[in-house]
Structure formats: structure tokens, C-alpha cells
Chain A
Amino acid sequence: MILLTRLILGSLLLCVTGLLHARPIDEVVDSGYLTISLYEDYAPYSWQEGDQVLGIDADIARRFADHLGVDIKFLVRGADENVDDDLRNNLWKGDLIHRQSADLMMHVPQDRELAARNNLVALMAPYFMEEMAVVANTAVLPVLETFGRFLNKPIAVEVDTAGDFFLSNAFRGKLHPSIRRGRTFAEVVKLYLAAEVPAAMGSKAQMEWIAHQSSDIASIIVQPPMPGIVRTRWPVGYAVKHDSRDLGYALTDVVSDLISSGEMKKITAQYGVSWTAFE
């Protein structure tokens, strides 16, 4: 209750000043809580079931709070048009309505240009290698060497995502009649599990998660050539406010320990997701 009151007071202050103050590590520890933002409906990385926040990113985030000996408060947020907007909503400016922001945002791509465009945040500590992939039902698609297979077979994808843009553009738009767009990732999962589509596209972890759910379907994860796609793989880490870098640095140790101890692999394996080392 004290915590809540404090948060409310904090957010009132923010409204008054219109500025989000820094929360370096000492302040986080003294306050007794760490606020971490996660994407909603983003299995296997993060999603909500009732009051519970689940997923790989949520599990890693809890290790951060444990390490600092503080409570964790999750801000589970929808994605805006791009990650630059998410960094604004979740970290440096807060949301438009309640002006709440997090101390740390999970699942931020580690990219020099993204970092340069967003100098009010610091991107750090890559903990996962993201790749684009397809999950396919081998009963229908025993081989999948090219996306040409989808000229006459449907494939599901979450609307308005990198996978959607790739498929819409592939073969000069020829796959259009085959694309089954889900409004959410959960809808994509449902389409595949109901065998309404023999394939889905998204990140490799998302596709492994689908395969993990579909015990009655023999699934394979494949990565056919993706001509025209901007990146097939990229690291993701977290981001903190630019004036609270010491918090971010302190938690890089947690990430290195999770990786070197093999704990990271165990976390992702719970969700059927393979963790691969990266340079």
C-alpha cells in the first residue's frame, strides 16, 4: 500500500513537472522496487494470464529484481508503431494518459542506428539472438526450401509485423492470397493449432513456442531464404533511461551469469525455445 501511494505520488509529480526524473541504481534500491516494461501478447517472451505475468522476458526480469533485492512492478504494454515509440512511451517520456514509465524495458533490439536515433535511452546487455523463421506442419509441408511453397498453401502471420511486411512483399505480392493475418499473435497460434494453416511466420522463438504447444502436429522450424528481408537475425537486450545507466550496467552482471551458468538456456527451454550463443 505504501508502495502504491508512493507510485501515485510519483506520477502526480511527473504530471506537474512534465519531466521524468532519473532513477539511478541507488534510488531504485532505496525505493524498494524496480519497474520493468514488457510487451503484452508476446509469447513466449511476455504475456499475461489473469494477474500473472509469464514468459522468458518476465523470468529474466525477476532475476534483476532478485539481484537488487527489491520488489518488481511490471508495466505490460502494447506495442506502438515502432520501437522508437515504445522507448518513448515506456522509458523516457511515459505514456500519454498516466505518465508512467519503467526503469528498464525488456526486449530492445541492439542496433547502432536505433541507439543513435534514441539518445534519451541506453541500449545494453544483449541476452537473446532473435531470428526470423517459419514453423511448418510436416504432414502438409514435408519440405520447405522456399517461400514459393506458399503460392498455393496458406501461411499465418501477425498483422503489421516484420513477418507480415516480408510476406506481403515477397514475389512481388504474389503470396497475398495465401497470407492469413491474425490480429494478435495468439490468433496466429490458434490458426496453426487448429490446422487451419500448415505454417506460420515470425521470430524463431515464437515459432518454437508454437511447435512446443502443438504436440499432435509434427512441426519443423525452418529458415528458407528470405530475399529482401532487412535482417534475418539480430540481438535483443534491454534499455534504461540515459541518465540511469548505472542501473543498466549493474544488471549486465546478471545477464552474463545467467548465460555462463547455463541458466539462460534453462529459462528458454521451459518455453520450448532454444537459446543460441552469439558473438
Chain B
Amino acid sequence: MKQQFLKLAVVSAIACSVGVSASATADAVDTAAIVGDQASTGDIVSYGLGPRGQRYSPLSAINKETIKNLFPVWSFSFGGEKQRGQESQPLVKDGVMYVTGSYSRMWAIDIATGEELWQYDARLPEGILPCCDVVNRGAAILGDKVFFGTLDAKIVALDAKTGKVVWRKKIADFEAGYSYTAAPLIVPTEAHGPLILTGNSGGEFGVVGQVDARNPDTGDLVWSRPVIEGHMGTLNGEESTMTGTANESWPGDMWKNGGGATWLGGTYDADSKLAYFGTGNPAPWNSYLRPGDNKWTSSRVAINPENGEIEWGFQTTPHDGWDYDGVNEFVTFDMEKDGKVIKAGATADRNGFFYVLDRTNGDFVSAVPFVKNITWAKGIDENGRPIFDPENRPGDPAESADGKKGKSIFAVPSFLGGKNWMPMAYSQDTKHFYIPSNEWGMDIWNEPVTYKKGAAYLGAGFTIKPIFDDYIGSLKAIDPASGETKWEYKNKAPLWGGVLTTAGGLVFTGTPEGFLKAFDDETGEELWKFQTGTGIVSSPVTWEQDGEQWLAIVAGWGGAVPLWGGEVAKFVSHLNQGGSVWTFKIPKQLAAK
């Protein structure tokens, strides 16, 4: 115990010196600052507190002992009548917070006072059909500009001082079903200087997942990489290479509209110099219409930012039939196992399995379930491929053309996933991942008749069901080396927010019931909570300013959960919407004691 305190004290001393130097210089953000974001505690200049996405802070002034003294400083309302889900992670630079909100809005806030410096409100056209709520997950920052994506599939660069538009570019055509909700990713390259990388979003409209890289000064496209086999990439305005081989894992021309939207954005590892993006489920939904693995849907792809080439791909759910939209973030870390250090990366997939891969080449290391009672696969084999349970693949609608409701199967997890968009955290102290997950399944049956655009077809019906009577949400601490679950916190409503862990020995996450909670990183004991007044579905951050450790969380209930009823509704239907940022710190008079 004593030893541990000593260690904490040393860490915080280092953290303080870094923090002071960062705030003293007040340099404009460059890619070195972005890559080094995790260590520089005086600001937050990337999504994930460092582009690796570990969501770990070396700050420890707020710790297991002092957390009882953590109190709110200010709350900032997003205002207006536009609420719904607030999934944003704030950025912090030179005492200013940059935070995005629902309906493609962004604010700059003076952290010292909680007052608004400027607001940007994207004018959204008629006719957007965002499939899964009107959320935004955060901004990127570089030089004198802040960047974010809007629901009409555009990326906007704003002057960080004034909030005025510097440039605005179309990522994709919203009229063709595309949208954008992720935080952009800024990476260094030798060939092109800094690049700003975006994925794309879209429902089942025949979209094709793609990653684009742009010049942050002008917004001009440098390269693009479609993630579906058969599509051609571009580099410097010319065709570069084809992704895979057309028809290798798709029948006919289905690859042309294959899905695989890269809607959650990506992470970057400065050691491997690769950008990692998750890809969504294939289209159409009925897997019997598209025999084959359907690459690269429900996969992680590692892209070389120098030229947009896919270095490796790893498919978590080949030939997906459950809507396991595996865009989940790939978080890189060094893993000690059997006396060796593996250059690893981990991802907790929508399909319920937690994978560890070699981040340099995509080689499979291990996979363990992180939710209970998985039915769609009996396990993952030694090559990382699922051992399907054919009994639990949704039936072929054509088999029940007699007009009756077809065979029903119960698949775990539900299509909303063992883990959905909400990012996990990795502690450099405990070496554990903290995974926000949900214990739910779904009944799927063949619907005798469904109509689309006025025409009848054989569709599928589904309803999501909790697996346990008393909870759905489950925050788990998993040791990636052993695959063991070290502790679990159960939450009644489904968890839909990101996680933060700190050198203070704390794990923070928010709940739909409105609480921001702090847990002991070793035991899972709940040490602190605060009620924000509306559900939390966003990711907490922490930074240091004027010698004090601050914490912030965006509050506002929404996201995909309330859009899907079923038996989950009784866990969430009473929750109220909102839209605000809360900040916290330990008051000086208490910190001094």
C-alpha cells in the first residue's frame, strides 16, 4: 500500500512538470502534440486522449483518496430546443474547451469561467435520414483550426479563435444515404505532412465504407481508400490500387453496394505508423443473398497514411448475418505475456468477443468473450475465425414463403452489440482494459411480409431482450494477457458512454441514469458519483489547468438505444433528454488539506 502511494506521487510529480511546460508555451497544436497528447496533461488535442485511443491520463491529483472531494465547477447548456443524444468528447487547448453537440453544433468555452466564446451551428438540409440519431462524437484540432463532421456528410474547418468557417468539404453525398458523426483523426505523414482522416456513415442504403485523407489547410483530398473489395482507391488525384480483388468474397456485383461503413473513425499508432479503422456490417441484411466472407465488412483494417494502402485486415465477423456492425475502435498497447512484449492492439467487437492482435501485421493473438451467453458462435478458433453455430444464424426468409412467421432464433449479443460505439480505456498501471458492455440478445424471425418503397418482400423482424432481469449494462475490467475478467460493475440501463482511466487509480464512466461514476481500477468498487440531470452517453476527459486537475463530461440522453424499443424500453423510457457539459475539480480549500 505504501509502495503504491509512493508510485502515485512520483507519477503525479512528472505529470505536473509536463503540464506546466505545456501550458507555459501555449504553442499551436502540431502533429507531435497530437501524437504526444497522452503525456502532455495540460491539454486534450485528440479523440481518445492520444490517437492510440487508450483514454488513460497520467494525472493523479484526483485519486482514490481525494475523489470524495470532487465537486462540479460549472455546467454549460447547449441551449435551443435541439437535444437528443450527446456523445461528444471535449478537446481542451490553452484554457479553451471545444465541444460538439447533437445536430452538428460546436462550441468554444472559456474553461476558467464556463462562458461561451463562440457557437457554430451547421445548417442542415432537408432530406437527411441519419439511421441512428443525430449525434456527433467530437472534433479534431491542428494549428489555428478545429475540425468536425456534420450530419450531411461534410467536414468543416473552423477558425479556433472565432468559430468562422475556413473551409467545408463534402465527404459523401447525403442524398445517397451518407452521414457523418465520428471525430476526425489527424496523423503525421512524411509524404504529405499532417493529414486529416475521416470515415463515413450510412444506414442500409447501399453505401460503401471508405477512409479519406485530406490536407488540413485546404481540405483537398490526398487519398481515399474504399474498404470493400473491388473498389479503386485514389492518391494525389489519380487512381491508386484496388482494394483486394473484385468478387473474391462477394457474389456478382454486390461488392458495389457492399456496406462496411467506417462510421466510428479511427485510431493511429506512432510506433507502427498505421491508422486503424473499423468497418461496419455488409449489405443487404439477409446473409443468404451474399454467400462469401464479404470483405472487408465487420473488420479492422490497418491503413498506411503515406499512401492509403491497406497493410492488413482482420475480419471479426465474416459473412455477418446478425448486423454485427464491427466498427469498434482498435486500441494499441504493449502487452507482456510469457516474458515477451507483444506490439499489440485490442478491440472489443460488437459480436461480443474481445480480440488481441499484433498491431504491426494483424496476426491473431487471442480472443475471449466479454459478454455472457454468446450464442451466434461457439468460440473463436486458433486463426481468429468464429466457430459459427448454424442453429443461431437468422433463417433464410425464402424458406418461409408460405406467408407464415418463420423460425425464430435467439442471438446473443443483440445487433446493438456486446459493445457499441462507446470507447473502452486501457490503464498503463493495471494493464487492464475497461470495457463498457451490454448483456442483451435478440429474437430474429422471418417476417412474412415487409414493404420497402411501396413493394413487398420477405423481411426479418427482431426484438431486443435483456438477458438478465435486473441489469443490461456491464463495465468490465479485462486482463488482455490472460483474458480474465477482473471485476464487473452492473448497471440497470444499457451503458452507452465511453470510459476514462487515470494514474489516480480511477475508472470513470457515465450512465443513462445520469450519473458520472468513478470506480477503483483494481476492485471495481464505486468510489464517487454525481447526478448530471440527464443520461450520459459520452466519454469523460481529464486535464490539468493552473495546477489543478479538471474533469469534464458531456451529458444528454439519446443515441441508438431509445430508437429501438422492445423489452429494453422499460429500462430507459423514463429517462429525460438534455444537452450540457459539466466540469469538476477538487476545490482549493479541500485540496490544500
Q: Which of B82, B84, B290, B451 contacts A114 (CB 8 A)?
A: B451
Give every chain A residue within 8 A of B206 (Cβ-Cβ): 159-160, 181, 183
Task: Check B270 for interface membership: any CB of A closer than 8 A.
Answer: no
Interface: A8 (CB within 8 A): no
The residue of chain A having its C-beta at the shortest distance from the C-beta of B174 within the complex is A78
Q: Chain B interface: which of A20-28, A140-148, A164-172?
A: A164-172
B260 interface residue per 8 A CB criterion: no
Would you call B177 an interface residue if the criterion is a C-beta within 8 Å of the partner chain's C-beta atoms?
Answer: yes
CA distance A145 to B134 in the complex (A): 48
Known: A113-B449, A179-B253. A234 touches B456 (CB 8 A): yes
| CB-based contact A81/B254 at 8 Å | no
Interface residues of A toward B: which range? 35 or more
A197 to B452 Cα, complex, angstroms: 24
Of the candidates A40, A162, A183, the one whose C-beta lies within 8 Å of that of B457 is A162
Chain A, 72-103, CB within 8 A of any chain B CB: 76-84, 86, 89, 95-98, 100
Q: Does B133 sit within 8 A of A, measured CB to CB?
A: yes
A109-B454, A111-B451, A231-B449 given as contacts; is B257 within 8 A of A183 (CB)? yes
In the bound complex, residues from chain B placing their C-beta under 8 Å from that of A109 are 451, 454-456
Q: Which residues from chain B contact A229 at a C-beta distance below 8 Å?
A: 401
Question: Does chain A have a CB within 8 A of B130?
Answer: yes
Q: Are B253's CB and A165's CB within 8 A?
A: no
Whether A82 and B252, one on each chain, are in contact in the complex, defined by CB atoms closer than 8 angstroms, is no
**Contacts known (A160-B206, A183-B257); A178 close to B458, Cβ less than 8 A:** no
Whether A2 sits at the interface, judged by CB under 8 Å, is: no
Distance in angstroms between the alpha carbons of A114 and B457 in the assembled complex? 12
| CB of B405, distance to nearest CB on chain A (Å) | 10
Per-residue contact bits, chain B 128-153, to A (CB 8 Å; 1 contact, 0 not): 11110110000000000000000100
Within 8 A of A (CB), among B71-110: 81-82, 84, 103
Bound-state Cα–Cα, A244 to B386, Å: 51
14 A/B residue pairs, CB under 8 Å, sorted by A: A82-B459, A95-B126, A100-B126, A160-B284, A165-B397, A169-B289, A173-B291, A176-B252, A176-B254, A181-B206, A181-B253, A203-B455, A230-B401, A231-B449
Measured between alpha carbons, how far is A202 from B130 in the docked complex, in Å?
26
Please, which residues of chain A bring their CB within 8 A of the CB of B124? 97-98
A residues at B contact (CB < 8 Å): 12, 15-16, 39-40, 42, 45, 76-84, 86, 89, 95-98, 100, 107-109, 111, 113-114, 130, 132, 159-166, 168-169, 173, 175-181, 183, 202-203, 228-231, 234, 236
B448, A96: Cβ atoms under 8 Å? no
| Cβ contacts under 8 Å, B401 to chain A | 228-230
Contact residue among B81, B127, B252 (Cβ-Cβ distance under 8 Å from A77): B127
Question: Are B127's CB and A96's CB within 8 A?
Answer: no
9 A-B pairs with least C-beta separation: A176-B252, A162-B455, A176-B251, A83-B451, A162-B457, A168-B289, A79-B453, A231-B456, A15-B81
A234 contacts across to B, CB distance below 8 A: 456
User: What secondary structure prevails in chain B residues at the interface with A?
Assistant: loop
Alpha-carbon distance between A202 and B453 when the two chains are bound, in angstroms: 11
Assembled-state Cα–Cα distance A97/B128 (Å): 7
Partner of B289, one of A78, A81, A173: A173
Q: Closest Cβ of chain B: how far from A53's Cβ, in Å?
A: 14
| In the assembled complex, B286 has its CB within 8 A of some CB on chain A | yes
Q: Determine whether the beta carbon of B257 is less than 8 Å from that of A160.
A: yes
Which residues from chain A contact B205 at a C-beta distance below 8 Å? 160
Within the assembled complex, what's the spacing in Å between the Cα atoms of A62 and B227?
45
CB distance from B254 to the nearest CB of A (A): 7
**CB atoms of B175 and A78 under 8 A apart:** yes
Which residue from A84, A96, A161, A165 sits with its C-beta under 8 Å from B133? A96
Contact with A along B556-586 (1 / 0, CB 8 A): 0000000000000000000000000000000
Minimum CB–CB distance for A23 against chain B, Å: 20
Question: Taking the complex as formed, is B398 at the interface, i.e. its CB lies under 8 A from any CB of chain A?
Answer: yes
| Residue numbers in B under 8 Å from A181 (CB-CB) | 206, 253-254, 256-257
